[in-house]
Structure 1
Amino acid sequence: MKIFNEARLKEELDNVINDSLKRDVFSGVCLSFSTLKDSVRWSRSYSYGTTEKSGSQKRIKQRTYFDLASLTKPLVTTLSIAVLIEDGLIRLEDELSDCCSWQLPEDKKRITISHLLSHSSGLPAHKPYYKKLHEVPEHQKSKKLQKWILQEELCFSPGTDNLYSDLGFILLGFIIEEKAGVSLDVLWEKKVITPLKLQKWLLFSKNKSFDRRLCAVTQNCVWSGKMLCGIVHDDNCRAMGGVGGHAGLFGTAPAVLSLCEHLIEQFKGREEHPSYSSALLRHLLTRVGKSSWAYGFDTPTRGNSSSGRFFSNESRGHLGFTGTSFWIDFERDTAIVLLTNRVHLSDNIEKIKKLRPLVHDIIMKFFL
């Protein structure tokens, strides 16, 4: 097995991360990564900073929970869809008119599950539904939100283009619940994450708040004014009750890494999952058409990827608005998870955009 100069690797990461802390890119970060060499998996987790800039701050630890934001899309929603496909309850080619009991406008009937997962449905990227949704009675929220989304004008005909869409994944969450007969969080915990024994460290549950000492702080709630800690940062998801097809997942960096490692092992045929086959997982990880998207997972954009310069074309990953990301290189048996609370200090996304590829490159140079 290749011998890694861990002291040098740690020194380079320390320099970059500590500089970012000084420049207020975030108040805290946990970085977990691993690679497989000669059948031996080498992994490390490093943590820096504090859960918030001031107040009752605590040191970031490997067991600190972060709001994973849109990492929910591939890690919760796509894998939950895999459960339904395996059970014969849904197909990727199913149109909404075939798989939903909803009243559908004519232009939405031909949208497929595949379109929603690959961001090619034509639905808008985002709408501030929270401004009216948080005043809707709890038992009416899902139906109201579903209706509002279906009333939106499409940006293009389904399947003709790509536009990253929270709205599409919110609909997927509702579809999963209708087909499964249980809430999205219940299905995911029982069928996806509990078999991997990660349910303690990857949390996805309605209206669940954490002990402030265990969670990195994000921002103030726009309607309550309270600082969000262990309560989902995404305004629409928070108004929905904390769980949605697009956001709501919390977790630790080592736990996200463990899930990524399992995806590698299953993709390679070295492990199985009791709820969906390895063949199905591999299909969901393939690019859809000519886009950069697989089914809920992103792929590297050559020359301009947050994954940096060294991840192969067989890599898949995703970013989260709160400052989170994971990238998996299936060809090289390597995964890197970077969790931060960058929204705690600034809405400026440029700082984290510059940092992500730099961190990935530092680690990958040592692995290659």
Structure 2
Amino acid sequence: MSFRHISICFFILFGTFTFLYCQPSDIQDFDKLSFKIDSIITNGISNEAFPGAQLLVASKGEVVFHKTYGFHTYDSLQPVSKTDLYDLASVTKILGPLPLLMKLVEEGQLDLDEPFSKFWKPWRSNKEKKDLTLREILSHQAGLIPYIVFLKEVVKQGKPKRRFVRTSPNGRFGRQAYEGLWVKNNFEKKVFRRITRSKVDADKKYNYSGLAFLLFPALIENITGHSYPYLLAKEFTLPLETPSLGYLPSRKGFPNAVIPTEYDSLFRKDLVQGWVHDENASLFGGISGNAGLFGTTRDLFRFMQMYQNYGVLEGRRYLKEETLKEFTRVQYPENDNRRGLGFDKPLLDNASRDVSEAYPAPSSSPESFGHSGFTGTFVWADPKYQLVFIFLSNRVYPDRTHRNLYKLNIRVSLHQLFYDHLKP
């Protein structure tokens, strides 16, 4: 990850840490840009939007800004490092199941416009779901309800039900949700049944739903005969040279520190660190399609750069160009739906909005795409301007009531700064 067209190098003192920066020729007024970025992020930390963050931005395939801020928690004991792992939350959707779904579509093993029930048998006998297509599901146009909190099934009066959760593993309880918490092996079948029986809105309109992403790993395994984590590593994370991007970092013995997320007072009764924050994903043993991946800004940069290049990175093709262009295209603009297939897209009128009301940066092109995560993560790629933007934080620390990340409009403001400073 070398800097592009380096012209000037200098040191910046930030708190007790010194960083070496090299000004790339693709960026105008780099020192002014860096000062603005520092101001926005340090203001966010001061207002407890998050205790710390990683920020990486690449222009034309080369990193032009990569810096860490703050600490793991507000006690200011452990500073954030570039190798620290963040819980990616819903960013998992576009880095986990989605690339494998794209490959299955390329290979003709899935079809975007045939009924999803052709590939997922439980839906064949459900009259509301049997005709829904994968295209409708991935673009959040299928009418599925947004979410089901399955934690309600396993916790009663603040205690896990022994029917579903045990404090030590055995032959029937082999899925580890946390230290000292093991979930019944067949609990996912209960989840799948609830999803199958869930309501479908007859009025087909945009309604974000993460339910199908709970199904996708099992779907991928059913079609391929291989485990979902194995395929993800084989096809993408290992060849992309992102070994730290993956599930269950607490089991892998990585030297990387893992950033804590939220203090869970309902289920795990602990500050969650090294285990997935999302409760539904935890009940799947930490491996799910809706959440569960951990990674660094460097990991996400390489994955998103491959996407931005429409399937190619460093001479190796991972996905076909036409596949990426189809999946990153707005699918139902006539229904006021901005979404691509799995990917988020700019608001349909984004270019005309002020930065305070835009999503993402108002200067991002209609070709751009990405996703955000509940824990405070955000990734975005713009093929037109060749700009990759990665922001990772733990805004849910110490709890999810901390919403100043949104109120202060931090991610969009940072994103727009790089467009403002890009040279024509």
Q: TM-score, normalised by structure 1?
A: 0.90
SS in 2 for 1:319: strand
Contact 2:380 2:389 in 1 (8 A): yes
Any idea what SS the aligned residue of 1:102 has? Answer: helix
Asked if residue 315 in structure 1 is aligned to residue 376 in structure 2, the reply is no
Bigger RCO of structures 1 and 2 (CA < 8 A, at least 6 apart): 1
Q: Distance in 2 between matches of 1:225 and 1:342?
A: 19
Aligned to 1:225: 269
Moved more, 23-32 or 81-90: 81-90
What is residue 130 of structure 1 aligned with on the other side? Answer: 151
Q: What is residue 89 of structure 1 aligned with on the other side? A: 109
Partner of 1:358: 413
Q: Which residue of 221, 227, 241 maps to 1:197?
A: 241
Equivalent residue letter for 1:278 = E
Moved over 4 A (4+): 209-213, 267-272
Query: 1:46 Cα shift?
Result: 0.8
Q: Which amino acid is 1:34 matched to?
A: A
What secondary structure is seen at the aligned counterpart in 2 of 1:214?
Answer: coil
Deviation at 1:309, TM superposition (A): 2.0
Contact 2:86 2:295 (C-alpha < 8 Å) held by counterparts: yes
The answer for the alignment partner of 2:339 in structure 1 is 293
What is residue 11 of structure 1 aligned with on the other side? Answer: 35
Matches within 5 A, 1:234-313: 234-266=278-310, 271-274=315-318, 276-290=319-333, 291-301=337-347, 302=350, 303=353, 304-313=357-366
TM-aligned CA deviation for residue 320 of structure 1: 0.2
Corresponding residue number in structure 2 for 1:78: 98
Q: By percentage of residues, which structure has more strand?
A: 2
How far the C-alpha of 1:183 sits from its partner, in A, is 2.7
Instruction: Give CA-to-partner distance per residue, 1:105-149, whole Å, 9 cap, x none.
Output: 221111221122111221111111123257264320221111111
Give the corresponding residue for 1:32: 56
SS at match of 1:203: coil
Deviations 1:227-268 (A, max 9, x none): 111110001111111011111111001211121112122358
Distance 1:213 1:192 in 2: 20
Distance 1:362 1:69 in 2: 25
Amino acid paired to 1:344: Y
8 Å contact from structure 1 (residues 218, 341) kept in 2: yes
Q: Which amino acid aligns with 2:38?
A: D
Aligned 8 A contact 1:32 1:44 in 2: yes
Selected match of 1:144 from 176, 183, 190: 190
TM (norm. structure 2) is 0.79
* 1:151-190 aligned within 5 A: 151-156=197-202, 160-190=204-234
Distance 2:247 2:107 in 1: 22
Deviation, structure 1 residue 273: 2.4
- Contact 1:116 1:172 (C-alpha < 8 Å) held by counterparts: no
Is the CA contact (8 Å cut-off) linking 2:122 and 2:196 kept in structure 1? no
Report matched runs for 1:91-110 at 5 Å: 91-102=111-122, 104-110=125-131
Question: What letter matches 1:152 in structure 2?
Answer: S
Task: State whether residues 116 and 168 of structure 1, in contact with CA within 8 Å, keep that contact through their aligned partners in structure 2.
Answer: yes
Which residue does 2:422 correspond to in 1? 367
RMSD of the TM alignment (CA)? 2.3
SS at match of 1:80: helix
C-alpha distance 312-282 of structure 1, shift in aligned 2 (>3 A): same
C-alpha contact 2:51 2:72 (8 A) present in aligned 1: yes
Q: Measure the CA separation in 1 of the matches of 2:250 and 2:227.
A: 13
CA contact (8 A) 1:125 1:167 kept: yes
Q: In 2, distance between residues paired with 1:3 and 1:289?
A: 35
Whether 1:215 and 2:239 are equivalent positions in the alignment is no
Structure 2 gaps, min length 5: 1-24, 155-159, 166-172, 174-183
Contact 1:78 1:117 in 2 (8 A): no
**Number of corresponding residues:** 360
